[in-house]
Structure formats: structure tokens, C-alpha cells
């Protein structure tokens, strides 16, 4: 009696849904450091930033969002509002709000943020701290009651 037309059937069959673990923090006003960029030193910025190049040193990006793109290779300690990693990072990551490791992320370092998201496929070798407190200078791992030492590779 009620029969779907062929176009309605095919539209229903091709619909798929993939849940996003968290919103992508990069706004339309983000600056992009391209894949051919090589930078050594201390990086500061006043807007959302996407890094696709190579950075060595330190990145201080408080109050703004930082994304390490799939081609990004970072050897630096990073501090930002929200840090999203899709590329490779060697260094400690401290997020004021969150640290997000996408499926393509490769991180060797410690994560510290009130919220940490690790997608399937991401690789992490380091400590995870969700206490929201800044690391104490001269801290000893044996005194640490709230952080966990992990080496994590999600099934992909």
C-alpha cells in the first residue's frame, strides 16, 4: 500500500553516522602553520592555532586552542586551553580545559588536564593527570598519588 520510491530507499541505505568523541576546538579564525614550516624556539600566539609543520622548543598558548595536525611533528612542552593532537608530539602537554588525542596521534610525554580524551588508535607513552593541578617543580614519581604511568595503544 505505502511503497517507498527507489530514491527514498537508496537515500536510507546510504546514511551512516559516526559519533565524534568531542567537538573540534579550532575556530574559523585559526592561524595555520603549514607543513613546510620548521620553527625552533618559544612559540606564543593570541588566536587558535593549527600546526602542520615541525616545531622544537616550547609552546605557550594559554586561553586559546591548539591543534597539532596530522602532518605536525612537535618536540616541545605545550600549554594551551584545549590541545588536540592528530600528529606526533614528544613533550609534556598541559591543557587548561582538555587534551584530546585523535586516532592518528603519537605522543611521548605526560598529559595534564581536567579532561583527557584518547580515541581508538592513538598511541601514548607517558603519565596521565586529570587532577587539574599544575605539576609541582621537583616532583618525584614515588610521591605521586593521583597520576598513572601508562603506555597506551588503542586497538584500531
Give Rg (Cα) of the chain. Answer: 19
Per the listing, cell 537508496 goes with 10
Pairing assessment for the beta strands 106-108 and 88-90 based on DSSP bridges: parallel
The pLDDT of residue 33 is: 83
Whether 76 contacts 91, CB under 8 Å: yes
130 CB burial (10 A radius; 0-12, 13-18, 19+): middle
Percent of the chain with pLDDT over 70: 66
Average pLDDT over residues 44-69: 90
Asked if pLDDT for residue 17 goes beyond 50, the answer is no
The pLDDT of residue 57 is: 92
Confidence of residue 62 (pLDDT cuts 50, 70, 90): confident
Confidence of residue 137 (pLDDT cuts 50, 70, 90): very low
More confident call, 99 vs 21 = 99
The pLDDT of residue 54 is: 95
Confidence of residue 134 (pLDDT cuts 50, 70, 90): low
Asked if pLDDT for residue 138 goes beyond 50, the answer is no
The pLDDT of residue 94 is: 94
Q: What is the DSSP string of the chain?
A: -----HHHHHHHHT------SS-----TT-EEE-TT-EEEEEEE-SS-EEE-SEEEEEEEEEEEEEEE-TT-EEEEEEEEEEEEESSEEES-EEEEEEEEE-TT-EEES-EE-SEEEE-TT-EEEEEEE-S-PPPPTT--GGG-SS-EEEEEE---
Per the listing, cell 617543580 goes with 137
Amino acid at each position: 500500500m505505502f511503497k517507498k520510491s527507489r530514491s527514498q530507499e537508496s537515500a536510507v541505505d546510504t546514511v551512516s553516522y559516526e559519533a565524534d568523541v568531542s567537538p573540534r576546538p579550532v575556530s574559523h579564525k585559526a592561524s595555520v602553520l603549514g607543513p613546510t614550516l620548521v620553527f625552533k624556539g618559544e612559540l606564543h600566539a593570541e588566536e587558535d592555532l593549527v600546526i602542520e609543520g615541525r616545531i622544537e622548543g616550547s609552546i605557550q598558548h594559554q586561553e586559546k586552542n591548539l591543534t597539532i595536525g596530522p602532518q605536525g611533528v612537535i618536540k616541545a612542552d605545550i600549554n594551551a586551553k584545549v590541545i588536540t593532537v592528530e600528529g606526533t608530539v614528544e613533550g609534556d602537554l598541559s591543557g587548561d580545559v582538555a587534551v584530546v588525542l585523535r586516532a592518528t596521534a603519537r605522543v611521548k610525554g605526560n598529559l595534564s588536564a581536567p579532561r583527557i580524551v584518547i580515541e581508538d588508535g592513538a598511541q601514548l607513552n607517558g603519565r596521565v593527570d586529570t587532577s587539574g593541578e599544575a605539576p609541582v617543580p621537583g616532583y618525584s614519581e614515588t610521591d605521586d598519588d593521583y597520576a598513572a604511568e601508562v603506555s597506551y595503544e588503542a586497538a584500531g
